[in-house]
Each structure stands twice: as structure tokens, then as C-alpha cells.
């Protein structure tokens, strides 16, 4: 199979399985400028599916970094709210959303951490109306990746640029099931497996999960009326979409006040173009009270300080160490991939689909401008489910599901 054929397959599953574009639906696509060719293929498949209009927004990382070097200091508290307001209106009118990611994890290396933090806060505030619609599944949406040269260089630093990009594409195609005889059918079968796992966990009604392993002893209380979700999701417009491609997780809502203990990251976190490594945090009464990192500590602390809810959890997810992403042996330095290689937690906003009746702060749902996943699972981590009566049941052992 040629590279063009593989890219066309990726575009096809993005339209049919990922965002699941409907007839007479507008499609908004956000992508790095390098992904123009893939976006063109996606547009063709979307129009074949009956889309009324495909609207692309392209980002240029060179211009993004240029801002941190040349812009006036006061400008870092500004974000283009008008862009996100327009997107929110379009989503409210029924548009679907597809986001293509592939940022260079080292894009902002050497840039002022305080400026990065201020930019993230301003952007999060400007995006709040649009993020609320996305997180509550007001419409069908999805995320997939594109192998940009900067990202490939970070994953394969010892390879030539062309070889690094080729190897990254090979990994993306593998975990995206492009190599299957029928990728669409393969994704539908995988989504069914994740749904079965959710059904098992929802039937248990655990009150808490406990994670134990090297550098980690964390008890995550679960919100009242929490729901496990994973794989395909039905948006409020009735369209079933697959939000993340790839996806290997099942996830639910922590209680914002009931997280206790210490937890160590098992993979680096890339956020806002900055790399954060060796995260260790301690929770008391649901809130982070200590946070360290060997690299990017100032960025991490600025992220946690975004608002009151940024220091609390909005998601806890279980991912087997045998997932295809983990078995690739790669550290992608891209949350979309790395979160599907390991169990993880997310700082910030809770997701409406993880609570019966939607987010309710009184029942433990967290509120924040951010939602940032970072990885805490591995083949050395055990997870137990704890009932309301205190009974303990093994859920994962050495990173494998046993429930």
C-alpha cells in the first residue's frame, strides 16, 4: 500500500468513524499548516458524505514561536476570542469539528515560562464557550494526528528528517488500524470492546480507585452518579462519533474533593509547546498541594494555577499496558497518543458524559478553564476498585485488566 493510499484511508476513517460527518452538516477543521494535503483528502471524503461546507483553520508553528520572541510583553494576556466565538456559534448551529494535531513538543523551548502560562490562561478563557460545547458533546467531534517534521524530530532525534517523518507515519498508521483489511470495521469492533469494558465498570459502582506502584499511592474518589465512557460516543445531536483516534481508554469522573496521596508521571507531558518531565504531585482533599518536575516545573505550576479547578481532577482513565500505542515502545510526546499508552488523570474540567444528568458541582464535578491529561500508568502499576462499603476488588495488575 502506498503512502497516498494510507493517507486516504486515514482521511476516510476520520470522516466515517472519527467525526462521522452527516449529510447537510458543516465541518470545521483545525490543523497544522503542514497537514494541508491530508485536510484536502478529508474535505473530499466529507463532501462525498454530504457535508455542506468544509472550513479549514491552519496554524503555523513558526509564527507561534515568533510571538514569544518578538511580541510586546503585555500582549501575552490577549487571545483572539472572536475566533472561538465564531466557532462556538457554528457548533451551536450544528457544525461538526475535527482537530488535527502534530505540534513540535520543543516548539517553545527556551521561551519565557511565565509568558507561556499567561498565554495558556488567556487562550483557555477565550475558548471557554467553544470548549463547553465540545466537552458536553453538543456536536460530533474528533481528534487525529499528522506527522509534522518537528514532532517527528522529537520522537526520533537520531534519524534524518525524512526517515524520522516516515517512521512516525508508520507508527501513526499502525495504531490507527490503517493496516487492517477493513479499517472502518476494525474501528467498529474496537469501539464495541471498549463499550463492553465500560459496562463492566459501570455495573461495579466503585466509590474509589487506588493506584499503586513506583512513586505512586493515589486514591481517587469517584463522583456521585459517575459514568464510565470510552470509544464511540453519541453526541447530543444524535450522531455517534469517536472523539480520539487512536483511543484505548475507558474513563470516568473523579470527585473533585476526594483525591488523596502521591502520584508520579510515567511519561512526559507536552502542553502549550512546552515539555514537562518527571511530574510528581501530592493531593490533599482533592487538591494538588505539592508539584515538582525535573523539566518544565514553572510551566506545570503555572498550569495548575490557571484557576481554582486547575489543581483538581476532572477525569481518571484506565488504559492497558498492552495497548497498541504502548506496545509501539515509543514515547510520542503527544498527549493524544501517550494517554492511550497508559492510564492517566486529567487536571481541570470534568466531562458531562461522565455523570448522569451532566456535570454537577454538588455531586463532585470539577470546573476549570483547562482539561489536561497526563500519564500515571505502566506495567508496574496496580489498580484496585473500592466499594462504598470498603471492599477491595482488583481492576488491573501490572497494567493489565483483570476485572
Residue 185 in any domain: the answer is no
Return d(Cα 161, Cα 1) in angstroms, integer. 22
Q: What confidence tier does 54 reach under pLDDT thresholds 50, 70, 90?
A: very high
Mean pLDDT of 230-252: 94
User: What are the residues facing 55 on neighbouring strands?
Assistant: 28
Domain that holds residue 164: 3-175
The reply to whether 252 and 138 lie within a common domain is no
The reply to whether 59 and 139 lie within a common domain is yes
Residue 180 in any domain: the answer is no
Q: Residue 18 pLDDT more than 90?
A: yes
- Whether the CB-CB separation of 146 and 31 falls below 8 Å is answered with yes
The reply to whether 38 and 114 lie within a common domain is yes
The reply to whether 38 and 109 lie within a common domain is yes
Return d(Cα 366, Cα 255) in angstroms, integer. 7
Q: Tell which of 133, 153, 175 closes a domain.
A: 175
Question: Is it true that the peptide bond before 246 is cis, omega within 30 degrees of 0?
Answer: yes
- Whether the CB-CB separation of 235 and 140 falls below 8 Å is answered with yes
Total residues belonging to the chain:
403
- Give me the pLDDT at residue 274, please: 82
Return d(Cα 401, Cα 290) in angstroms, integer. 30
| 176 CB-side CA count, 13 A | 27
Residue 184 in any domain: the answer is no
Mean pLDDT of 149-156: 95
Residue 340 in any domain: the answer is yes
DSSP, collapsed to helix, strand or coil, labels residue 256 as strand
Residue 318 in any domain: the answer is yes
The reply to whether 21 and 112 lie within a common domain is yes
The reply to whether 124 and 214 lie within a common domain is no
The reply to whether 271 and 395 lie within a common domain is yes
The reply to whether 131 and 252 lie within a common domain is no
Residue 11 in any domain: the answer is yes
Residue 118 in any domain: the answer is yes
Q: Residue 273 pLDDT more than 80?
A: no
- Whether the CB-CB separation of 184 and 17 falls below 8 Å is answered with yes
- Whether the CB-CB separation of 277 and 296 falls below 8 Å is answered with yes
Residue 299 in any domain: the answer is yes
- Give me the pLDDT at residue 275, please: 86
Cα–Cα separations (whole angstroms), residue 222 to 43, 147, 233, 387? 41, 36, 21, 10
Return d(Cα 9, Cα 6) in angstroms, integer. 5
- Whether the CB-CB separation of 92 and 181 falls below 8 Å is answered with no
User: What are the residues facing 139 on neighbouring strands?
Assistant: none
- Give me the pLDDT at residue 201, please: 98
The reply to whether 136 and 253 lie within a common domain is no
- Give me the pLDDT at residue 271, please: 83
The reply to whether 39 and 86 lie within a common domain is yes
Give the total number of structural domains in the chain: 2
- Give me the pLDDT at residue 17, please: 95
We report the CATH number of the domain holding residue 167 as 3.40.1830.10
Helix-then-strand count for the chain, H and E = 11, 20
DSSP, collapsed to helix, strand or coil, labels residue 108 as coil
Provide the grid cell at 393.
476488588
The reply to whether 264 and 379 lie within a common domain is yes
Q: What confidence tier does 162 reach under pLDDT thresholds 50, 70, 90?
A: very high
- Give me the pLDDT at residue 135, please: 86
The reply to whether 256 and 171 lie within a common domain is no
- Whether the CB-CB separation of 130 and 84 falls below 8 Å is answered with yes
- Give me the pLDDT at residue 179, please: 87
- By C-alpha distance, which of 10, 75, 77 is closest to 38? 10
Q: Tell which of 135, 160, 175 closes a domain.
A: 175
Q: What confidence tier does 362 reach under pLDDT thresholds 50, 70, 90?
A: very high
pTM here?
A: 0.86
Amino acid at each position: 500500500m502506498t503512502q497516498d493510499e494510507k493517507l486516504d484511508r486515514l482521511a476516510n476513517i476520520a470522516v466515517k468513524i472519527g467525526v462521522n460527518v452527516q449529510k447537510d452538516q458543516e465541518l470545521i477543521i483545525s490543523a497544522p499548516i503542514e497537514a494541508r494535503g491530508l485536510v484536502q483528502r478529508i474535505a473530499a471524503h466529507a463532501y462525498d458524505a454530504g457535508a455542506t461546507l468544509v472550513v479549514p483553520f491552519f496554524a503555523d508553528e513558526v509564527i507561534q514561536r515568533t510571538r514569544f520572541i518578538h511580541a510586546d510583553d503585555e500582549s501575552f494576556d490577549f487571545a483572539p476570542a472572536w475566533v472561538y466565538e465564531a466557532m462556538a456559534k457554528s457548533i451551536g448551529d450544528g457544525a461538526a469539528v475535527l482537530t488535527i494535531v502534530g505540534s513540535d513538543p520543543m516548539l517553545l523551548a527556551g521561551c519565557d515560562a511565565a509568558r507561556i502560562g499567561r498565554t495558556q490562561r488567556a487562550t483557555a478563557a477565550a475558548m471557554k464557550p467553544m470548549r463547553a460545547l465540545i466537552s458536553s458533546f453538543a456536536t460530533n467531534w474528533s481528534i487525529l494526528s499528522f506527522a509534522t517534521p518537528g514532532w517527528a524530530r522529537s520522537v526520533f532525534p537520531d534519524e534524518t528528517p525524512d526517515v524520522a517523518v516516515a517512521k512516525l507515519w508508520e507508527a501513526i498508521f499502525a495504531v490507527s488500524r490503517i493496516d487492517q483489511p477493513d479499517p472502518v470495521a476494525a474501528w467498529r469492533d474496537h469501539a464495541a470492546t471498549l463499550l463492553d469494558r465500560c459496562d463492566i465498570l459501570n455495573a461495579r459502582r466503585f466509590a474509589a480507585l487506588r493506584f499503586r506502584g513506583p512513586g505512586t499511592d493515589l486514591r481517587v474518589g469517584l463522583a456521585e452518579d459517575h459514568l464510565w465512557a470510552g470509544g464511540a460516543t453519541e453526541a447530543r445531536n444524535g450522531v455517534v462519533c469517536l472523539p480520539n483516534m487512536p483511543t484505548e481508554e475507558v474513563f470516568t469522573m473523579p470527585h473533585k474533593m476526594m483525591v488523596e496521596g502521591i502520584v508520579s508521571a510515567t511519561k512526559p507531558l507536552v502542553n502549550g509547546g512546552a515539555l514537562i518531565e518527571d511530574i510528581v504531585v501530592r493531593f490533599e482533599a482533592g487538591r494538588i498541594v505539592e508539584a515538582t518536575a525535573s523539566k518544565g516545573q514553572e510551566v506545570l505550576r503555572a498550569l495548575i494555577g490557571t484557576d481554582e479547578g486547575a489543581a483538581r481532577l476532572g477525569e481518571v482513565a484506565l488504559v492497558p499496558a498492552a495497548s497498541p500505542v504502548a506496545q509501539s515502545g515509543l514515547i510520542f510526546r503527544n498527549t493524544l497518543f501517550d494517554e492511550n499508552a497508559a492510564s492517566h488523570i486529567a487536571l481541570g474540567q470534568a466531562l458531562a458524559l461522565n455523570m448522569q444528568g451532566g456535570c454537577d458541582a454538588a455531586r463532585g464535578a470539577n470546573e476549570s478553564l483547562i482539561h489536561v491529561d497526563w500519564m500515571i500508568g505502566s506495567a508496574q502499576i496496580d489498580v484496585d476498585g473500592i466499594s462504598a462499603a470498603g471492599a477491595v476488588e482488583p481492576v488491573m495488575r501490572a497494567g493489565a485488566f483483570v476485572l
